[in-house]
Homo-oligomer: A and B are copies of this chain.
Amino acid sequence: MGLKFELLKTSGNARRGRIYLPHGVVETPTFMPVGTNANVKLMTPKLLDEIGAQIILGNAFHLYLKPGLDVFRFHGGIHNFMNWQKPVLTDSGGFQVFSLREGRKITEDGVLIRSPLDGSKHMITPELSMEIQHAIGSDIVMAFDYCAEPGISHQDAVVALELTSLWAERSLKKLRSLSDQAIFGIVQGAFFKDLRLRSAKEITSMNFDGFAIGGLSVGEEYDITLDMTKFTAPLLPENKPRYFMGAGSPKLIVDLVDSGIDMFDSVLPTRVARHGQALTWKGKLNIRSAKYKFSKEPIDESCGCYTCKNFSRSYIRHLFDRGEVLGQILLTIHNLHFMMDLSKKIRESIENDTFQELRGEVLKYYA
């Protein structure tokens, strides 16, 4: 099918891998920047390329609403549309089942969701999700799933799990009928180990090209996130990539890699950048602070990004102080570069069997 995965090396549970996709090779572990509306906020594709992004995310549901499938078909897919010629992964809309709860209606057929743009109602089925992701032309398609909310009862979580399995089967069948794009199945099961076990068994019994752990990092305690991941990851086949959906904090990322995860994504690094928070090798830094008014230092002296090589904390603080969007642009460049640098250092440390030292270093600054 549309993906080849090589597991190059392991070090403890950490995995160094390589994914071959139609638009290029992805070295894992890797962070994937999120580009919900066919752009990573404030970043040109050229800048994304310069910070070393290997693969970015798109959002099937949002792209279905705008610009719409006719536009993607007209352009022959998202790569031409946004002129990003490296791999793209699209989520299925399953997360919107979780995030757009108001007015939604779930049936065996699919989910009725209200558009956050105009309130219009849209029935999203596994089949429609596949048609959307086919039109978008992503390198990796995600099965349509039911991402349950924290606090869900065991009984309700069973329903969500069963729908997820049913929809996974329909997603796989539909996509294979449409294209040879790669598709990942998603393991759900909320915060119940018996359900995680059952979901993993059911989902991995299907012929997906990779597997994701969904429904975590949605508001629950950190220890639960990690406990569930450490329980679930070993249930996934070794010879296929493993993707944890929605992880962007350096602490969580090193702990996920330590649990055998290969891929992770989050809006966090770009969102906090727009609010003035920089991620550095010595922890977080709030550039709005008055203490940087007279600082000639870069955000992170060990960083090689465009922002750190050219601008002082003093200047970036001034831009935020005056509400100049260039400040947000410069911090977005830095934070994404940091995430790619972190990914690269993780890969190197697995190759050199020094991952635990790196993890310890990160955890020292990100508690």
Contacts and interface: CB of A to CB of B under 8 A. Distances in A.
B66 A322 contact: yes
Given A326-B39, A329-B44, A318 B66 contact: yes
A47 to B, nearest CB: 9
Interface string A189-228: 0000000000000000000000000000000000000000
Contacts of A75: 296, 312, 314-315
Nearest to A47: B44
A82 interface: yes
Residue in A43, A71, A315 whose Cβ sees the most chain B Cβ within 10 Å: A315
Nearest to A37: B322
A311 interface: yes
A312 to B, nearest CB: 7
A53 interface: no
A41 interface: yes
Contact of A314 (B43, B81, B294): B81
A100 to B, nearest CB: 17
Q: How many copies of this protein are present in the complex?
A: 2
A111 interface: no
A285 B242 CA distance: 46
Interface in A72-111: 74-75, 81-83
A68 to B, nearest CB: 9
A64 to B, nearest CB: 13
Interface string A49-71: 00000000000000000110011
Nearest to A65: B322
Given A39-B326, A294-B71, A325-B325, A315 B81 contact: yes
A321 B46 CA distance: 22
15 contacts: A37-B318, A37-B322, A37-B324, A42-B326, A42-B329, A44-B326, A46-B306, A46-B310, A66-B321, A71-B294, A75-B296, A81-B312, A82-B311, A83-B311, A83-B315
Given A37-B319, A41-B326, A44-B329, 5 more contacts: A38-B318, A46-B306, A81-B315, A83-B310, A329-B329
